[in-house]
Structure 1
Amino acid sequence: MAKFVYRMENVLKLKEQIESQRQMEFVQAQNKVLEEEEKMKALINRYRGYVNDQKEASKNKISIVNLRHFGDCIRVTKELIKAETVQVKVAKKNLEVAQKRLADAVMERKIQDKLKERAFEEFKQELSKEEMKEIDEVISFNYNNRSI
């Protein structure tokens, strides 16, 4: 029996490797988004803490220096939150790009899989034709030699 050999097997393997690589990039992008969102949550919590501390301190006697310190901490934290918002947006944009690249890689690999399946079906049909031809030859030979 003949062995099926797909001519484009190396292309299929390459597409599978690319898909795997894109999948890793996608996971890394997801992790980066989660990391940036966690940083954002920490900054927001820090900001809320400073605001609460300022409110508590203002209820009691507080020096101008301490009041300014709280104001500076709140202002700096607001700026950090703005910067982190940009980082979160960049990370989400990178995630979208990675997702698109992964989807493209999956589609290309599936196309190669379909081509391989079609080639295998053609191989099976050709093999079936050859077997039928051999059977016809054996039957014909037996029919012709039976009178001897």
Structure 2
Amino acid sequence: MARFQYTYQKIVDLKTSEKSQAEWQLSVVIGKLNNEERSLQQLREERATWANRLGAASNEAVSLSELVAMQQYIEHLDIRIVHKLADVKKAEVAVETGRLVLSDKMMDEKVWQKSKSNALERFRADMMVSEQNELDELATVRFMYAAQ
């Protein structure tokens, strides 16, 4: 019996590989997004801590220079938070882009897998026809010998 060999198998393998690579790249950018969000959360927590310290310092005997230093540090944290928000937005865009790329790669792979599946079905149908023709020929030959 003949063995099925898909003519475009290398393309199917390439599309599968491209999909796997897109999945890997998406997981990398999702990891970066998670890191950026964690970093942003830490900055916000640190800012809240310093804001509480500044609020508590107003009730205590603290020098003006210390109050100014605390206020300047809080302003510095605010600037870092704004920059971190921009980094988070960039990471979110990268994740969305990665998802779109992965979606395209999955669609390509699915198209080629479907093409391969259709070719396999045609091959099986051709093999069944061929086998049926051989069986019919055997039956004809036996009938001819039996008729003689």
Distance 2:66 2:143 in 1: 112
- Written as runs of structure 1 = structure 2, the 5 A alignment for 1:92-131 is 92-131=92-131
Q: Show structure 2 runs of 5+ residues with no match.
A: none
1:74 aligns with 2:74: yes
Deviation, 1:19, is 0.4
Q: Which moved more, 1:135-144 or 1:40-49?
A: 135-144
Q: Show structure 1 runs of 5+ residues with no match.
A: none
Distance 2:129 2:62 in 1: 97
Q: Aligned partner of 2:72: which letter?
A: D
Counterpart for residue 46 of structure 2: 46
- Written as runs of structure 1 = structure 2, the 5 A alignment for 1:1-148 is 1-148=1-148
Deviation, 1:79, is 0.2
C-alpha distance after superposition, 1:1-49 (max 9, x if no partner): 1100011110000001000000000101111110000000000011001
Deviation, 1:145, is 1.4
C-alpha distance after superposition, 1:66-87 (max 9, x if no partner): 0110111010000000000000
Deviation, 1:144, is 1.2
Deviation, 1:147, is 2.8
Distance 1:84 1:31 in 2: 15
Distance 2:104 2:45 in 1: 39
Calculate the TM-score normalised by the size of structure 2: 0.98
Calculate the TM-score normalised by the size of structure 1: 0.98
* Structure 1 consecutive aligned stretches of length 4 or more whose deviation exceeds 3 Å: none
Distance 1:139 1:85 in 2: 80
- SS of 1:59's equivalent in the other structure is coil
Q: Aligned partner of 2:41: which letter?
A: K
Cα RMSD after superposing both structures: 0.7
Q: Aligned partner of 1:49: which letter?
A: T
Distance 1:147 1:77 in 2: 102
